[in-house]
Amino acid sequence: MKRWWHPLAYGFSLLPTPFLHLLSSLTAWLLFYVVKYRRKVIEENIKRAFPKLTTGESLQYTKHFYRNLTDVLFEFLKGQSISEKELRQRVILNNFEIFEELYQKDRGVMVVMGHYTNFEWVALAMPLLVPNPTFAVYGRIKNPETNEWVVKLRERFGLKLFSMKDTYKFMLNNSAKNPLYLFMADQAPHKGKIKYRAPFFNTPTPTHIGAENLAKMCNLSMIFIHVKRIKRGFYSITPEIIAENPNEYPNYQLTDMHVAALEKLIKEEPANWLWSHKRWKNL
């Protein structure tokens, strides 16, 4: 059953991307100056990660964060109608041969990424850019109509989603040849499920270890992808091999490695990360 806003959202997506970016800038201004959406959380997180910033520098990061956030939102809506041709132009993959060589070696892949720049378009475009059948874990939305709408949008170009609660069962029974799995590994685990703390911005930070565990259980090569905004609405993906054979590494080392890769990426363009998430809430 479609909700009344589904056709409206689709019609909205038909607007030219530059106009959507104009609306994004306006929305970012409202979020920063009027709504002050999670402003305190954002500022505290930035201060923890970059304690040497001046007040003015921290304020600039916060302002730029809101524009990144609203760009991701409006571009996500654009994903309902964007053509394959345009998406390929806006999201490009460097070093394709890394994925091709692993595929030729009959290696499945665990791709670890963060909520950095437009992670939604990266996931949307990934099946078009790699030789592997591509899957991603997602958190089910409580409202069934909204959940169906989001899943349909994210699966437009071949991505297949599976529910977070079914992760182990799905991956251990997946018969696809050399699958590629997209994992977001930068959110805080629930307080009762903390099993490891990884160094992250000079703080021992509770960190999900599922990506490492599943890479070892399913013998998947682990890759971290560095995503950069080339210019507004255009992105590049550069893969970094964390481990071709994950079972050669001791426990938690792969987790430390992909967390370190994320920290390095964030330091390059700090405003592009999802600072509104309470990453350090369960220290």
Which pairs count as long-range contacts for 40-48, CB under 8 Å and 24+ apart, including other chains? 41/275, 41/276, 41/277, 41/278, 42/275, 42/276, 45/275, 45/277, 45/278, 45/279, 45/280, 46/270, 46/275, 48/201, 48/203, 48/280
- Count Cα neighbours of 245 within 13 Å in the Cβ-side half-sphere: 3
141-145, 198-202, 237-241, 257-261 — which is least confidently predicted? 141-145
* Residue carrying structure tokens 């990453």: 279
The reported pLDDT for the residue numbered 259 is: 98
CA distance 121 to 20: 15
Residues 180, 190, 159, CA angle at the centre, nearest 5°?
Answer: 20
Mean pLDDT of the chain: 95
- Region 263-281: mean pLDDT is 96
The H or E element containing residue 170 is helix 167-173
Residue whose C-alpha is closest to residue 23's, from 12, 10, 39: 12
Residue whose C-alpha is closest to residue 218's, from 98, 108, 104: 108
More confident residue, 5 or 240: 240
- Whether 282 shows a pLDDT value over 90: the answer reads no
E-assigned strands of the chain?
Answer: 91-93, 109-113, 134-138, 160-163, 180-184, 197-200, 203-206, 221-231, 234-243
User: 21-59: per-residue pLDDT in tens?
Assistant: 999 999 999 999 999 999 999 999 999 999 999 999 999
User: 75-120: per-residue pLDDT in tens?
Assistant: 999 999 999 999 999 999 999 999 999 999 999 999 999 999 999 9
The reported pLDDT for the residue numbered 2 is: 60
- 244 exposure class (CB count in 10 Å sphere: 0-12, 13-18, 19+): middle
In contact, 215 and 168? CB cutoff 8 Å: no
- Whether 6 shows a pLDDT value over 90: the answer reads no
- Whether 283 shows a pLDDT value over 90: the answer reads no
SS3 45: helix
Return the axis-axis angle of helices 210-217 and 253-268, rounded to nearest 10°.
130
- Region 200-207: mean pLDDT is 95
- Whether 239 shows a pLDDT value over 60: the answer reads yes
- Whether 210 shows a pLDDT value over 90: the answer reads yes
User: 136-174: per-residue pLDDT in tens?
Assistant: 999 888 888 899 999 999 999 999 999 999 999 999 999
